[in-house]
Amino acid sequence: MKTPISFEFFPPKTPEGVEKLVGVRQKLYALQPEFFSVTYGAGGSTQDGTLQTVQAIIADGFAAAPHFSCIGATRDSVRAQLAQFRTAGIKRMVALRGDLPSGYGAFGEFKYASELIEFIRAETGNEFHIEVGCYPEVHPQAKSPEDDLRAYATKVKAGASSAITQYFYNADSYFHFVEESQKLGCNIPVVAGVMPIISSSQLMRFSDACGAEIPRWIRLRLQAFGDDTASIKAFGLDVTTALCERLVAGGVPGIHFYTMNQAVATTEIVRRLKI
């Protein structure tokens, strides 16, 4: 059985970025993904760009899910946004708490993603497919792994349709998370988030910020390559392909690629996997 794949973009901030993403989208459309997700800046700072990118993908005939964060939102603003989604033909979203931008004073009317999900379900029933985030290696702000699992379970019980993980490079962490969450009655599909390794410095920076673990052997190999970008990319393809092979063999319900608005590495991994 073919493993479903999906891709994440961030909304471009310049006309050049918009134009470049058009070409990237065309290359990734050829892989027949289940959907695309488009991220959302802290406090909704890229809201317009997110919606424009999602609308462009839908206009091209593919499903797209905007990230939808609740930080700073009110019930009225969420209602207005849901109406906007309907008008745009959006059928799915990624519901998140989101990050407070610097200088932001208050949470708004929703403190947690679970509250946002509960409200959306109360307002719209099963009209939308709601994705949520989860952390196989524990959310960086969680007090403990148990607390993090309970927070995830609360989102599932609030009405999540499926989950997408933060990226990871240790397949065991994914399988362990799924097993532990099922013990709490969480039986929704958990799609594995995968970050192709394109740049060593970029990977280190992102991972330090979001709490994703880079196994020591990968970190040391990347450091040993120095500025040899060709070797970094070749090694990255091998590592990420092997990770995906293990996930597919273990029955993962889908793989969600964090593309960083690039097509080459993701396309090559999917080609190697023959999915």
Residues with active-site annotation: 8
In 3D space, the residue among 257, 251, 252 whose CA is nearest the CA of residue 269 turns out to be 257
Q: Which two structure tokens, joined as six digits, stand for 61?
A: 């005939």
Q: Which helix (H) or strand (E) holds 257?
A: strand 255-258
The set of residues, in sequence order, having a beta carbon less than 8 Å from that of 132 and lying 6+ positions away, is 94, 95, 96, 113, 117, 152, 155, 156, 160, 162, 163, 164
In 3D space, the residue among 192, 179, 205, 199 whose CA is nearest the CA of residue 247 turns out to be 192
Q: What separation in angstroms does the CA of 227 have from each of 201, 206, 232?
A: 10, 18, 8
The set of residues, in sequence order, having a beta carbon less than 8 Å from that of 152 and lying 6+ positions away, is 132, 134, 135, 163, 181, 186
Dist. CA 205–CA 207, nearest whole Å: 6
The set of residues, in sequence order, having a beta carbon less than 8 Å from that of 274 and lying 6+ positions away, is none
DSSP summary character for residue 2:
P
In 3D space, the residue among 255, 222, 216 whose CA is nearest the CA of residue 236 turns out to be 222
